[in-house]
């Protein structure tokens, strides 16, 4: 087990060494290839869906709505059901929360990695999966969350610290890149007339504004998270390359 040792919480929240120089570049490249792929992306996209639906759920609770269920489907779609006032700010923020959630979580992970808190990222991911599992209400959804938890558990309790670093950086890059692609997929579906009840269409109806405006706003946000998070992830390696080894 590599998350905790005899030093307890002090070790968990302590700073780890900077990653090897190539690690942020290699994991970023691999994550980008995965997001740009076809079949591999279809399977990996479920992770983005889990975070997307978790975003809806968290904001629904913060807005005072009653969370009912999360359902994850094999086509990588998902639905979060909550009860409350069907209009107003609470419903608007709930509808808005899904698509930015993976990028925002990726940015938070990048900030933790910039502070060399690799094990904290693993803990946050575990808490997120546990919280989602509690409210998932369909068989495939339970399977998807349990499978993701199993991978996380193996990395957290079996893998060496070096492997943990590679895994956490790869996941962080994947969330940052993976937060952008679904927006292009959504617009393509909307263009074909097959996604007229999407989150951004709901936002358009709730606010009386063009749905494309919300797509652009979310797009700017996700790209901004990618740029900022990417800079945080690459900063140690870039500094090392520019400054050279210290004597």
Residue range(s) defining the domain that contains residue 106: 19-52+100-239
Cβ-based neighbour number of residue 179 at 10 Å: 30
What's the pLDDT at 5?
Answer: 47
Answer whether residue 61 is part of any domain. no
Q: What is the pLDDT of residue 190?
A: 86
**What's the confidence (pLDDT) of residue 14?**
52
Candidates 117, 99, 98, 97; CA nearest to 109 is: 117
The 10s digit of each residue's pLDDT in 25-55 is 999 999 999 999 999 999 999 999 999 999 9
- Mean pLDDT, range 87-93, rounded to an integer: 95
pLDDT at 92: 97
- pLDDT tens profile 101-154: 999 999 999 999 999 889 899 999 999 999 999 999 999 999 999 999 999 999
Which stretches of the chain are DSSP H helices?
Answer: 9-12, 23-36, 39-62, 89-96, 101-114, 118-135, 139-157, 161-178, 181-191, 199-207, 211-243
pLDDT at 144: 96
Interval 170-195: pLDDT, tens: 999 999 999 999 999 999 988 888 77
Give me the pLDDT at residue 195, please: 75
Render pLDDT for 145-157 as a digit per residue (tens, 0 to 9).
Answer: 999 999 999 998 8
13 within a domain of the structure (yes/no)? no
pLDDT in tens, 201-244: 999 999 999 999 999 999 999 999 999 999 999 987 777 666 76
> Which residue has tokens 């992306």?
41
Instruction: Tell me, yes or no, whether 109 lies in a domain.
Output: yes
Cα separation, 225 vs 66, whole angstroms: 29
Kindly state the average pLDDT of the residues 57-86: 95
pLDDT at 6: 43
Task: Tell whether 72 is covered by a domain.
Answer: no
Look at residue 9 and tell me if it is in a domain: no
How many domains does the chain fold into?
1
Identify whether 78 is part of a domain: no
Residue 143 lies in a domain: yes
The per-residue pLDDT for 67 is 95
Whether the pTM exceeds 0.85: the reply is yes
211 belongs to a structural domain: yes
């Amino acid at each position: 087990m590599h998350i905790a040792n005899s030093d307890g919480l002090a070790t968990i929240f302590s700073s780890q060494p900077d990653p090897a120089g190539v690690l942020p570049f290699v994991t970023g490249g691999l994550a980008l290839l995965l997001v740009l792929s076809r079949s591999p992306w279809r399977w990996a996209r479920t992770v983005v869906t889990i975070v997307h639906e978790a975003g809806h759920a968290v904001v629904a609770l913060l807005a005072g709505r009653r969370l009912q269920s999360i359902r994850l489907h094999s086509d990588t779609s998902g639905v979060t059901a909550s009860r409350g006032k069907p209009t107003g700010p609470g419903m608007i923020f709930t509808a808005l929360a899904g698509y930015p959630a993976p990028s925002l979580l990726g940015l938070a992970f990048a900030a933790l990695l910039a502070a060399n808190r690799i094990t904290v990222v693993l803990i946050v991911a575990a808490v997120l999966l546990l919280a989602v599992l509690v409210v998932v209400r369909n068989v495939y959804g339970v399977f998807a969350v349990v499978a993701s938890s199993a991978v996380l558990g193996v990395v957290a309790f079996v893998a060496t610290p070096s492997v943990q670093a590679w895994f956490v950086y790869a996941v962080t890059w994947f969330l940052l890149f993976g937060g952008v692609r679904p927006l292009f997929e959504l617009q393509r579906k909307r263009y074909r007339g097959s996604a007229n009840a999407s989150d951004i269409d709901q936002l358009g109806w709730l606010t009386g504004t063009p749905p494309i405006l919300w797509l652009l706003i979310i797009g700017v946000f996700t790209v901004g998270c990618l740029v900022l998070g990417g800079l945080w992830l690459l900063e140690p390696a870039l500094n090392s390359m520019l400054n050279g080894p210290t004597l």
